[in-house]
A = this chain, B = another copy of it.
Amino acid sequence: MANAQGLKIAVIGGGSSYTPELVEGFIRYYNELPVRELWLVDIDAGLHKLNIVGNLAKRMVEKSGLPIEVHLTTDRRKAIAGADFVSTQMRVGMLDARGRDESIPLKYGVIGQETTGPGGMMKALRTIPVLLDVCRDIEELAPNAWLLNFTNPAGMVTEAILKYSNVRSIGLCNAPIGLIKQTSAKYNVEPDRIYAEFVGLNHLHWITRVDVEGEDKLDEMLADTTGYSATNVPAREWDPEFLKSLGAIPSYYLKYFYMTDAMLEEQLDSVKTGGNRAEVVKRVEAELFELYNDPELKDKPKQLEQRGGAFYSEAAINLMRSLHNGTNDIQTLNVANKGTIDFLPDDASIEVNCVVTKNGPLPLPLTKIPRSAVGLMHAVKTYEQLAIDAAVTGDRGLAIQAMAHHPLVPSVEVAIQMLDDMLEANKEYLPQFFEKSPANEVN
């Protein structure tokens, strides 16, 4: 892939607050991943942030003394042309749209969350067409590039790309690394001495095996009802009998399904007291950019680790290193199912352990599937498939079906009201639903 001088990396949404973490990774692992050109690209509206974060990136590289060129641009095609890796971390409609994703469902007594539930569906409708546009550019200008997708809802976005483009794409999430880190801390062992088997979808996975230094620790971990957790999902204890009979550690995102009533109450309370998660993140981001703007800062600031997206760039760098070197190591990734979870469609994106070869990730056979989880996986996947096709076609009927069949939506009536409300609120970002042309019709 790479030419003699090194690799070209394009980061779509390069003005994100996460970028310094990525840059830090490129510096640290330069020997295994010789980056020659790093292109940070963003839209016009993000130019201010791009410059701030881009200049920090330049200062970080300069300090390292490595021959990495950092380019800042709003010309996406120029950034993509000939790239070896394209990474995406974008937010169509920015934090304001996220705020609406979180608040509108609450009006209908439904969980309001940016990736799970109706909020996630709105995000998918806004985001998928933009990502597919990026893919058109990659198909033309960098057909051999790997697209590493972090853009949420990462599972749906990855599946849309696999279905509707020829781009070689892999979806990533920081949650699996989070579980490893948490277990590493709990048992005080190095992360590479831990093996965990994941099964499910993005933000809807179960961990069915945890080996620590070769010892099976699953039962021990199931006995701990705090479960595994992250800063962006409120903590809540699991019922011990439920956890034991489930026989697998649920993702913290599964609290929205297994503790719906309590999580909803918490969200409603939270709105009353301090605004939704989007508001919190806005404040954190503002503080970060203030730090980044300091011309004396030449390193990733510690505060970034509080941001919620911890380990994102670690996941990205790990994956690029393994693809570039063909290390055949095992990582938890979002890939096309192709029979791995035998009851899901072949073209469904799933989140499972893969061997990362030079030719891409190969999903490992699963050694255990929690039988209780089968129905929920399927229910959410059906919703995801309908929502993806609604996003691509702008077909209102598909959007109604998607919303009505989401397990967190209580009835068809609520589904349609909420959908209408959300479509209207996102009108600016949903031309496929509002600017009808024959090409938008479903056949």
Complex interface bits, A174-204 against B, C-beta within 8 A gives 1, otherwise 0: 0000000000000000000001000000000
B364-A355 in contact (CB<8A): yes
**Chain B residues within 8 Å of A358, by CB:** 195, 211, 214
**Chain B residues within 8 Å of A345, by CB:** 343
Most buried by B among A241, A374, A412: A412
| A324-359 residues at the B interface, CB under 8 angstroms | 326, 328-330, 338-340, 342-345, 355, 357-359
A195-B357 in contact (CB<8A): yes
Is A398 on the interface with B (CB-CB < 8 A)? Answer: yes
**Chain B residues within 8 Å of A396, by CB:** 241, 245
Quick one: which of B259, B339, B410, B413 contacts A365, CB cutoff 8 A? B339
A429 to chain B, nearest CB (A): 22
A245 to chain B, nearest CB (A): 3
Question: Chain B: which residue is nearest A241 at the CB level?
Answer: B400
A166 to chain B, nearest CB (A): 14
A371-B397 in contact (CB<8A): no
A227 to chain B, nearest CB (A): 12
Q: How many Å lie between the Cα of A221 and that of B115 in the bound state?
A: 37
Is A226 on the interface with B (CB-CB < 8 A)? Answer: no
A34 to chain B, nearest CB (A): 14
Q: How many Å lie between the Cα of A245 and that of B415 in the bound state?
A: 13
- Show 10 A/B contacts (Cβ-Cβ < 8 Å), sorted by A: A214-B326, A241-B400, A245-B397, A261-B413, A328-B328, A339-B339, A362-B364, A375-B382, A375-B405, A378-B378
Is A64 on the interface with B (CB-CB < 8 A)? Answer: no
A400 to chain B, nearest CB (A): 5
Interface residues of A (CB under 8 A from B): 195, 211, 214, 238-239, 241-242, 244-246, 258-262, 326, 328-330, 338-340, 342-345, 355, 357-359, 362-365, 367, 371-376, 378-383, 385-386, 396-398, 400-402, 404-405, 407, 410-416
**Chain B residues within 8 Å of A414, by CB:** 261
A416-B379 in contact (CB<8A): no
A439 to chain B, nearest CB (A): 19
Question: Chain B: which residue is nearest A377 at the CB level?
Answer: B378
Q: How many Å lie between the Cα of A359 and that of B14 in the bound state?
A: 42
A411-B364 in contact (CB<8A): no
**Chain B residues within 8 Å of A397, by CB:** 241, 244-245
A411-B261 in contact (CB<8A): yes
Knowing A262-B413, A330-B328 touch, does A405 contact B372 (C-beta < 8 A)?
Answer: yes
Q: How many Å lie between the Cα of A66 and that of B375 in the bound state?
A: 51
**Chain B residues within 8 Å of A405, by CB:** 372-373, 375-376
Q: How many Å lie between the Cα of A239 and that of B380 in the bound state?
A: 22
Q: How many Å lie between the Cα of A374 and that of B214 in the bound state?
A: 38
**Chain B residues within 8 Å of A359, by CB:** 367
Quick one: which of B373, B383, B416 contacts A242, CB cutoff 8 A? B416
A217 to chain B, nearest CB (A): 13
A199 to chain B, nearest CB (A): 13
A242-B404 in contact (CB<8A): yes
A355-B330 in contact (CB<8A): yes
**Chain B residues within 8 Å of A195, by CB:** 326, 357-358
Q: How many Å lie between the Cα of A379 and that of B405 in the bound state?
A: 11
Sort A-B residue pairs by CB-CB distance and give the 3 closest, nearest first: A375-B382, A245-B397, A378-B378
A362-B365 in contact (CB<8A): yes
A318 to chain B, nearest CB (A): 15
**Chain B residues within 8 Å of A404, by CB:** 242, 258, 372
Q: How many Å lie between the Cα of A398 and that of B398 in the bound state?
A: 35
**Chain B residues within 8 Å of A367, by CB:** 359, 362
**Chain B residues within 8 Å of A355, by CB:** 328, 330, 355, 364
A375-B365 in contact (CB<8A): no
Quick one: which of B238, B245, B326 contacts A400, CB cutoff 8 A? B245
